[in-house]
Amino acid sequence: MQETLNNWVIMLNDWIWTFLIIIPLIGAGLYFTFRTRFVQFRKIREMFRLLGEGIAGSNSKNSVSSFQAFCIATASRVGTGNLAGVATAIALGGPGAVFWMWLIALIGSASAFVESTLAQIYKEKGEKSFIGGPAFYMKKGLKKKWMGTLFALIIIVTFGLVFNSVQANTISLAFNESFGFSRIWLAVILTFFTFLTIFGGIHRVARVSGIIVPIMAIAYMLVAVFILSINITHIPALFEHIFANAFGFEQVIGGGLGATIMQGVRRGLFSNEAGMGSAPNAAATATVSHPAKQGLIQALSVFTDTLIICSCTSFIILLSDLSAESGLKGIQLTQAALSNEIGAFGSPFIAVCILLFAFSSIVGNYSYCETNLFFISSKPFYLQLYRIAVGAMVLFGSLAGLDLVWNLADLFMAIMTLTNLIAIILLSKIAFKALGDYNRQKKAGIKSPVFHASAIPELGEEVTEWK
């Protein structure tokens, strides 16, 4: 049964990704990059300044700071895609897939800016914090409530159910590989802690993410830096290998270039989520004085995820020379590669990392879905029922086959991305004008720009939080 379902999903994935996702995704990213005059590169210093400003304001109990929103979004981005997804991309698409992951991050960070700025503009005041995201800007900005409801349903299934099964699957495989733990017991334990966290709501998610994300990212990067330092003479050849395989003559003749691009784009998007419509749900929760602030911070989150964390995994695997000959893929390849570099400590270390990475993604993913469920219905019964469904999918993912959960993730990710891209392309002029207003205030010497809806005449009465 699983094999038949997996085969159908693979065929549908290939068609959708080839004809409907890759070209619009890259095209939209390039359009946003040029229209914002390369905002993701020009505003790097401002991004870090705003992040520091958010850290200073992260102690309020009644709001979510820009730093906490950054951590929630990064918690969702930094997960199995960084460790298992990168390994799968290299195993199936070769070293050249790494280049295409980098490219989708560099271009996609402009998309992240646009969608997160829109989420801030069209946000609403919730019970404990602001709420918003693509469903809200589709309803308010495009005046298409049906589209917002459709997107809300898609993200509820994609992130809360399908993606969380991927995270749980990777945790169980990693611990089974390293310690021989029973996947059944792991499934039960992981489900229990998922329930414990998500029943606490968005503020508990923010607190958990604010602790876990910085610690796990720094620890993993330190190990990667150590491995790079002991292999410093091989680094030039490593980059040459990546670029040669990304555009290599052999790949074109052998028909492998398409697989390289496909794997790089798929795994890159799964990891950094730029343009997918997920991070705006976290961006909208932040209390900031100007929408562009959160747009810039979320663009930085894309860089953190792909250019730093994913690159760490890529370098570890490629320096080990295991990817081409081992037959391994997914988290087992990452574990084997790290063990090859630093000894027996490598596999358990990755297992612990993946536990922190993936669990933070589970709670981050859930936080997105809670907002979108509220968009559809505010009845508490549906929220409690959905929380139970999330736990059930964590249980299922912990026990399911690796190929099935990843292929299901690719399918739902494609549908969600296409829906969001249509919306942000149509609304992009609003984000561009918000950026222009921010830049004008900065040039006028205002250190912390303040946004008012009157700065953009096209904003109607639907925008309530910036009057």
DSSP string, 63-111: SB-HHHHHHHHHHHHSSHIIIIIHHHHHHHH-THHHHHHHHHHHHHHHH
Residue 155 included in any domain: yes
8 A C-beta contact, residue 242 and residue 386: no
The C-alpha torsion from 7 through 11 and 17 to 20, rounded to 10°, is -140
Quickly count helices (H) and strands (E) in the chain.
23, 2
Residue 467 included in any domain: no
Across-strand partners of 124?
131
Residue 464 included in any domain: no
**Domains in the chain, number:** 1
| 255: CB partners within 8 A, 6+ apart | none
Residue 423 included in any domain: yes
Residue 460 included in any domain: no
What are 68's two structure tokens?
């906490």
Could you give the CA distance from residue 73 to residue 411 in angstroms, rounded to a whole number? 21
> 313 by DSSP, 3-state: which?
helix
Could you give the CA distance from residue 403 to residue 7 in angstroms, rounded to a whole number? 10
Residue 466 included in any domain: no
Residue 462 included in any domain: no
Helix axes 402-443, 96-121, angle to 10 degrees: 60
Continuous segment of H or E residues that includes residue 273: none
Long-range contacts, stretch 48-53, CB < 8 angstroms, 24+ apart:
48/300, 50/293, 50/296, 50/297, 51/297, 51/300, 53/448
| Residue range of the domain that includes 410 | 2-455
8 A C-beta contact, residue 286 and residue 465: no
Could you give the CA distance from residue 167 to residue 173 in angstroms, rounded to a whole number? 10
Q: Which amino acid is at 139?
A: K
Q: What is the CATH number of the domain that holds 363?
A: 1.20.1740.10
Backbone angles phi and psi of 130, in degrees to 5: -70, 155
Residue 352 included in any domain: yes
Across-strand partners of 286?
64
> 130 by DSSP, 3-state: which?
strand
| CB-count burial class (<10 Å; 0-12, 13-18, 19+) for 41 | middle
The pLDDT, as a whole number, for residue 301 is 83
Could you give the CA distance from residue 64 to residue 57 in angstroms, rounded to a whole number? 9
8 A C-beta contact, residue 163 and residue 362: no
Could you give the CA distance from residue 455 to residue 40 in angstroms, rounded to a whole number? 23
In the block, residue with structure tokens 């933070």:
360
pLDDT in tens, the chain (467 residues): 556 656 666 666 666 666 667 788 888 889 999 999 999 999 988 888 887 776 655 555 556 666 766 666 666 566 666 777 777 777 777 788 888 888 888 888 999 999 999 999 998 887 767 888 999 999 999 999 999 999 999 999 888 888 888 888 878 877 877 777 788 888 888 888 888 777 765 555 556 655 666 677 777 778 888 888 888 888 888 888 888 877 764 554 444 555 666 666 666 666 667 788 888 888 888 888 899 999 998 888 888 778 887 888 888 888 877 655 556 666 677 777 777 777 777 777 777 777 777 777 787 778 778 888 888 887 888 888 888 888 888 888 787 765 677 777 778 888 888 899 999 999 999 999 999 999 999 999 888 899 998 889 888 777 877 86
The pLDDT, as a whole number, for residue 38 is 92
